[in-house]
């Protein structure tokens, strides 16, 4: 099993936000990465992380970060690290991440800004581990020496595509119709007002459906022309995204039309046997099975299944025929761990083994 020669230093942009807190929780005790810098906005700069109010995870602030002093989110000597994990809000993420990349940092971003850039990989290690090969072209195009930007998808997309990838590989994939019931944490903090969601459903999440309809096409697409251009997969996706009163984990009802006829049994086999590059490489955060298939009639449920495989798996259940498309199922996945913070970290683990980091 791979192990870097020495600890790799990482910094976190947006360290006090909802996803930032998950980054620090997921990096606690990481075997390869060492947190050396934490960025925050104005009024918290200069404070120790442990002295900033607003930690909202049920575990306490990890001990290892309590005494780290928050610094401004701009490249410079305060950022003594090779990797930048970014959970910045999208109004500032775009340009800040570029400044860090230009300054030589390797930026793993959870923000949406660069996901659709033609020279930026949008990656899930189980899905398109080869898409990092565009990075040399990215650096060349942008005149960056050592730095680069790599992104992970939206939380709803990640879990959807983890379930779609084995189907695409085995049978081909033509149509996907999905309704999501998304959790509160996906909207950040303070995010959703309690008055909008207690005893209610909100049938709309701004910008979400277009992400869910487009990001999978890049993820399931090809990197062509000597690793310089992405070609989208030819899949039709239709999404309706809603918000429900669940703290954590998105639920998605999915119907798919496959490329060839198969059987329910084969579909089940393919889902539960799915393993890919992170499993082969035994990356620290890789689940043994990225897709957990459950056979109980009333699973998956966000409360019961969000922690599946250390919150790194997508749990699929209720697999059955669909009278309109071919098959349908329900999936549940943790949106701020596998769907956000740990998505970036797993990308960084993959790129470390691939040699883009730690050298």
Q: Which residues bind its own copies (CB under 8 A)?
A: 18, 53, 56, 58-59, 175-177, 179, 181, 184-185, 189-204, 213, 236-238, 240, 242, 244-247, 251, 253, 255, 296-304, 306-307, 317-318, 322-325, 328, 330
Distance CA(90)–CA(329), nearest Å, equals 32
Residue from 26, 30, 114, 155 carrying the catalytic annotation: 155
Q: At what angle do helices 264-272 and 155-171 cross, to 10 degrees?
A: 120
Least distance (Å) between residue 287 CB and its own copies: 14
- What's the distance, CA 225 to chain centroid? 27
Contacts of 293 (CB under 8 A, 6+ apart): 268, 271, 272, 315, 316, 317, 319
Calculate the alpha carbon distances from 160 to 27, 41, 56 in Å: 25, 33, 27
In the complex with its own copies, the residue whose CB is nearer, 123 or 256, is: 256
Distance CA(333)–CA(304), nearest Å, equals 11
Coil vs helix vs strand at 304: helix
250 assigned to active site: yes
Coil vs helix vs strand at 294: coil
In the complex with its own copies, the residue whose CB is nearer, 1 or 324, is: 324
Per the CB < 8 A criterion, the answer to whether 23 and 60 are in contact is: no
Least distance (Å) between residue 358 CB and its own copies: 34
In the complex with its own copies, the residue whose CB is nearer, 2 or 303, is: 303
Distance CA(86)–CA(298), nearest Å, equals 36
**The pairing of beta strand 236-243 with beta strand 33-40:** unpaired
Give the Cα-Cα-Cα angle 348, 351, 356 (nearest 5 degrees).
120
Least distance (Å) between residue 184 CB and its own copies: 5
Least distance (Å) between residue 328 CB and its own copies: 6
Q: Give 292's strand partners.
A: 315
In the complex with its own copies, the residue whose CB is nearer, 138 or 315, is: 315
30 assigned to active site: no
In the complex with its own copies, the residue whose CB is nearer, 190 or 355, is: 190
Q: Which residue numbers are catalytic?
A: 155, 250
């Amino acid at each position: 099993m791979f192990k870097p020669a020495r600890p790799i230093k990482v910094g976190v942009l947006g360290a006090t936000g909802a996803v930032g807190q998950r980054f620090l929780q997921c990096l606690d005790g990481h075997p390869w990465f060492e947190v050396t810098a934490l960025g925050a906005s104005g009024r918290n700069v200069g404070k120790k992380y442990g002295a900033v109010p607003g930690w909202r995870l049920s575990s306490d602030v990890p001990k290892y970060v309590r005494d780290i002093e928050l610094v401004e989110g701009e490249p410079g000597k305060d950022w003594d690290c090779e990797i930048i994990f970014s959970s910045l809000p999208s109004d500032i993420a775009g340009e800040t991440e570029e400044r860090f990349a230009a300054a030589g940092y390797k930026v793993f971003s959870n923000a949406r800004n660069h996901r659709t850039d033609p020279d930026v990989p949008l990656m899930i290690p189980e899905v398109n581990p080869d898409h990092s090969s565009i990075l040399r072209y990215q650096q060349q195009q942008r005149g960056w020496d050592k730095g680069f930007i790599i992104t992970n998808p939206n939380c709803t997309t990640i879990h959807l595509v983890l379930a779609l990838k084995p189907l695409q590989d085995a049978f081909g994939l033509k149509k996907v119709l999905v309704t999501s019931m998304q959790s509160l944490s996906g909207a950040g903090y303070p995010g959703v007002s309690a008055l909008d969601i207690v005893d209610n459903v909100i049938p709309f999440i701004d910008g979400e459906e277009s992400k869910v309809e487009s990001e999978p096409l890049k993820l399931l697409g090809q990197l062509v022309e000597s690793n310089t251009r992405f070609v989208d997969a030819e899949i039709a996706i239709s999404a309706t995204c809603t918000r429900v009163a669940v703290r954590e984990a998105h639920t998605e009802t999915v119907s798919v039309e496959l490329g060839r006829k198969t059987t329910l049994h084969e579909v089940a086999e393919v889902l539960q046997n799915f393993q890919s590059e992170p499993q082969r490489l035994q990356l620290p955060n890789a689940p043994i099975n990225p897709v957990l298939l459950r056979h109980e009639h009333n699973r998956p449920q966000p409360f019961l299944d969000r922690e599946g495989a250390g919150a790194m798996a997508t749990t699929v259940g209720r697999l059955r025929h669909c009278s309109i498309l071919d098959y349908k199922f329900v999936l549940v996945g943790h949106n701020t761990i596998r769907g956000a913070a740990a998505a970036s970290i797993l990308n960084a683990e993959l790129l470390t083994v691939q040699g883009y980091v730690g050298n």
